[in-house]
């Protein structure tokens, strides 16, 4: 049964872990899909933002003019290739802020609500000649390419769009040595646009918040349900175990008197026995004793199961010393099977306390009987009585002791510690439960200290008021 529960718990936990793994995988996928959809959406809205805006066209024209002038200078031998567009930054900085303002306005008009940055980069300029192409500018990687215009941001984390290649046929006049000249050439420009969205992670997470919250909620719910199911299962198992133990113990306890009774009645039926009044008398006494024992057992189960709220106390003022002495004397008289040495150590004088004598006696007897039951060989019991702010009665034995683990449960109903298995002592596991209930009904407390193999000490604390 225990193994089954362990397997069940392990399987449930593994199942839950697998389920969380799948859930995490699905959420991660959703995250990626949402991210792609979001980037795609942004891409679409900024794809052609520069169409039909005259001012943006004129900015591009300014850049175009600069490029054309440099090509002319190059053709005239006034500019070397390495210097091509090397001082471009000045021109860009002069027009860039207006350009940024323009495209930000366009994004807003298109309903892009999150902050998008945009940048155009130049990859290459090639002069197309009928004989051979002449590469004036060329950068193979996106990091090396020239930041033409737009926001400045880390290009590595940016998204590329609009890879465009334009070929322009140009004819320009210029003056050289006082003479008007015309130059004619064709060139090809390759540019690429990039965009970057600040805080896109938050935006994607915001879009996923519904599914995230729901997942976490369901996960927590399953976790709590699992926890309670397992806890319930363990409690049920404990109760079932306790009940089985109790039934076993009870059967065990009932067997001896019943067997004796059967034997005694059989004897009384015999004719030769009937002629011997002495044996008949003895047998009847045995029957009476066993009857009493059976009655006691049933009473024990009935009474000892009472909870402290159900105990009706009939308190009276008693002299502590006299009362405890009477209980101990009666107890010593009732114990004949084992040799008992009882030490009394009282540090109270003429003190009185209000208690229910009948119930308190049962409580003390339960502890004293345990001291005898759970001691091997000769029994030594120390009974200490003193009063601080309350009345303290300690009963100490030098018996088999209780393990630390079991100590916490000795006051539980039907609980019998592991030491009863080793030492085979009979009992129902009700004595200390009932004792505790009686002490509680008196608004007192009971505590236990014990060392395995050394002994046990129970202390009752009963308040004076």
Q: State yes or no: residue 410 binds ligand ATP (CB under 6 A).
A: yes
Q: State yes or no: residue 399 binds Mg ion (CB under 5 A).
A: no
Q: By CB under 6 A, which span of 40-48, 51-59, 144-152, 414-422 interacts with ligand ATP?
A: 414-422
Smaller CB separation from ligand ATP, 145 or 362: 362
Q: State yes or no: residue 432 binds ligand ATP (CB under 6 A).
A: yes
Q: What's the closest the beta carbon of residue 289 comes to ligand ATP, in angstroms?
A: 18
Backbone angles phi, psi at 159, to 5 degrees: -105, 130
**For ligand ATP, which residue of 136, 155, 190, 417 counts as binding (CB under 6 A)?**
417
Q: State yes or no: residue 370 binds Mg ion (CB under 5 A).
A: yes
**Contact string 319-358 vs ligand ATP (x = CB under 6 A):** ----------------------------------------
Q: By CB under 5 A, which span of 183-191, 317-325, 337-345, 431-439 interacts with Mg ion?
A: 431-439
| Alpha-carbon gap, residue 267 to 258, rounded angstroms | 14
**For ligand ATP, which residue of 84, 118, 187, 433 counts as binding (CB under 6 A)?**
433
Q: By CB under 6 A, which span of 3-11, 110-118, 144-152, 417-425 interacts with ligand ATP?
A: 417-425
**For ligand ATP, which residue of 122, 402, 446, 460 counts as binding (CB under 6 A)?**
402
Smaller CB separation from Mg ion, 116 or 432: 432
DSSP H or E run through 448: strand 445-451
Give the bridge partners for 458, in sequence order. 395, 448
Which of Mg ion, ligand ATP, none sits in contact with 417, Cβ below 5 to 8 A by type?
A: ligand ATP
Smaller CB separation from ligand ATP, 145 or 437: 437
Smaller CB separation from ligand ATP, 151 or 397: 397
Q: State yes or no: residue 444 binds ligand ATP (CB under 6 A).
A: no
| Alpha-carbon gap, residue 219 to 217, rounded angstroms | 5
Report which of 412, 389, 382, 404 is spatially closest to residue 449, judged by C-alpha positions. Answer: 404
DSSP H or E run through 347: strand 340-347
**What region does 444 belong to: left with phi over 0, alpha with psi -120 to 50, or beta?**
beta
Report which of 31, 34, 28, 35 is spatially closest to residue 159, judged by C-alpha positions. Answer: 35
Q: Find the helix packing angle between 320-334 and 357-373, rounded to 10°.
A: 50
Smaller CB separation from ligand ATP, 119 or 456: 456
Smaller CB separation from ligand ATP, 150 or 427: 427
Across 284-308, b (16+ Cβ under 10 Å) vs e yields eebbeebeebbeeeeebeeebebee
- Distances from the Cα of 371 to the Cαs of 2, 26, 455, in angstroms? 32, 64, 9
Smaller CB separation from Mg ion, 431 or 444: 431
Smaller CB separation from Mg ion, 355 or 368: 368
Q: State yes or no: residue 103 binds ligand ATP (CB under 6 A).
A: no
**For Mg ion, which residue of 257, 399, 401, 431 counts as binding (CB under 5 A)?**
431
Q: What's the closest the beta carbon of residue 264 comes to Mg ion, in angstroms?
A: 28
- Distances from the Cα of 237 to the Cαs of 5, 6, 11, 421, 428, in angstroms? 9, 12, 18, 20, 19
Smaller CB separation from ligand ATP, 152 or 403: 403
Residue 409's CB is within 10 A of a number of other CB atoms, namely: 14
Q: Which residue is nearest to Mg ion (CB)?
A: 431
Smaller CB separation from ligand ATP, 107 or 374: 374
Bridge-based pairing state of the strands 134-138 and 116-128: antiparallel
| Alpha-carbon gap, residue 359 to 366, rounded angstroms | 11
Q: State yes or no: residue 430 binds ligand ATP (CB under 6 A).
A: yes
What is the DSSP track for 367-427?
HHHHHHHT--SSEEEEEEEEESSEEEEEEEE-SS---HHHHTTTTSTT---THHHHHT---
**For ligand ATP, which residue of 106, 362, 420, 461 counts as binding (CB under 6 A)?**
420
Q: By CB under 6 A, which span of 31-39, 180-188, 191-199, 425-433 interacts with ligand ATP?
A: 425-433
Which of Mg ion, ligand ATP, none sits in contact with 192, Cβ below 5 to 8 A by type?
A: none
* Cβ–Cβ under 8 Å, residues 438 and 455: no
Which of ligand ATP, Mg ion, none sits in contact with 126, Cβ below 5 to 8 A by type?
A: none
Q: State yes or no: residue 419 binds ligand ATP (CB under 6 A).
A: yes
Residue 116's CB is within 10 A of a number of other CB atoms, namely: 21
Q: State yes or no: residue 401 binds Mg ion (CB under 5 A).
A: no
**For ligand ATP, which residue of 88, 99, 374, 398 counts as binding (CB under 6 A)?**
374
**For ligand ATP, which residue of 71, 456, 461, 462 counts as binding (CB under 6 A)?**
456
* Cβ–Cβ under 8 Å, residues 124 and 142: no
Residue 82, CB-side half-sphere exposure with 13 Å CA sphere: 0
Which residues would be at the binding site for Mg ion (CB under 5 A)?
A: 370, 431
Which residues would be at the binding site for ligand ATP (CB under 6 A)?
A: 366, 370-371, 373-374, 397, 399-402, 410, 415-417, 419-420, 427-433, 456
């Amino acid at each position: 049964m225990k193994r089954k529960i362990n397997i069940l718990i392990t399987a449930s936990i593994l199942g839950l872990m697998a389920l969380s793994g799948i859930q995490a995988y699905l959420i991660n996928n959703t995250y990626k899909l949402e991210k792609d959809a979001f980037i795609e959406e942004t891409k679409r809205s900024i794809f052609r933002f520069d169409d039909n805006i005259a001012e943006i066209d004129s900015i591009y024209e300014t850049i175009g003019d600069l490029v054309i002038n440099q090509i002319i200078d190059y053709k005239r031998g006034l500019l070397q290739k390495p210097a091509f567009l090397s001082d471009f930054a000045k021109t860009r900085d002069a027009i860039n802020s207006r350009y940024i303002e323009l495209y930000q306005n366009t994004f807003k008009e298109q309903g892009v609500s999150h902050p998008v940055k945009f940048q155009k980069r130049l990859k290459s300029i090639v002069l197309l000649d009928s004989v051979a192409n002449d590469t004036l500018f060329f950068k193979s990687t996106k990091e090396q390419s020239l930041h033409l215009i737009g926001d400045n941001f880390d290009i590595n984390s940016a998204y590329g769009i609009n890879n465009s290649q334009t070929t322009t046929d140009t004819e320009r006049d210029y003056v050289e040595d006082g003479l008007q000249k015309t130059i004619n050439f064709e060139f090809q420009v390759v540019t690429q646009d990039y965009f970057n969205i600040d805080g896109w992670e938050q935006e994607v997470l915001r879009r996923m918040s519904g599914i995230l919250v729901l997942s976490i909620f369901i996960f927590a719910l399953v976790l709590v349900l699992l926890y309670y199911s397992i806890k319930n299962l363990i409690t049920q198992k404990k109760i079932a175990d306790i009940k089985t133990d109790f039934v076993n113990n009870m059967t065990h306890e009932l067997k001896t008197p019943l067997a004796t009774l059967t034997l005694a009645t059989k004897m009384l039926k015999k004719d030769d026995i009937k002629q011997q009044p002495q044996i008949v008398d003895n047998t009847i006494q045995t029957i009476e004793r066993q009857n009493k024992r059976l009655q006691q057992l049933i009473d024990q189960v009935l009474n000892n199961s009472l909870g402290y709220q159900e105990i009706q106390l009939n308190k009276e003022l008693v002299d502590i010393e006299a009362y405890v002495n009477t209980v101990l004397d009666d107890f010593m008289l009732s114990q004949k099977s084992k040799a008992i040495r009882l030490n009394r150590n009282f540090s109270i004088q003429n003190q009185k306390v209000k208690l229910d004598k009948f119930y308190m006696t049962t409580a003390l007897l339960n502890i004293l009987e345990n001291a005898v039951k759970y001691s091997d060989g000769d029994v030594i019991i120390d009974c200490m009585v003193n009063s601080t702010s309350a009345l303290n009665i300690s009963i100490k034995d030098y018996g088999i002791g209780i393990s630390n683990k079991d100590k916490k449960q000795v006051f539980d109903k039907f609980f019998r510690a592991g030491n009863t298995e080793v030492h085979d002592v009979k009992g129902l596991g009700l004595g200390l439960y009932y004792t505790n209930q009686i002490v509680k009904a008196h608004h007192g407390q009971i505590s236990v200290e014990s060392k395995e193999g050394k002994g046990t000490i129970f202390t009752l604390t009963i308040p004076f008021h």
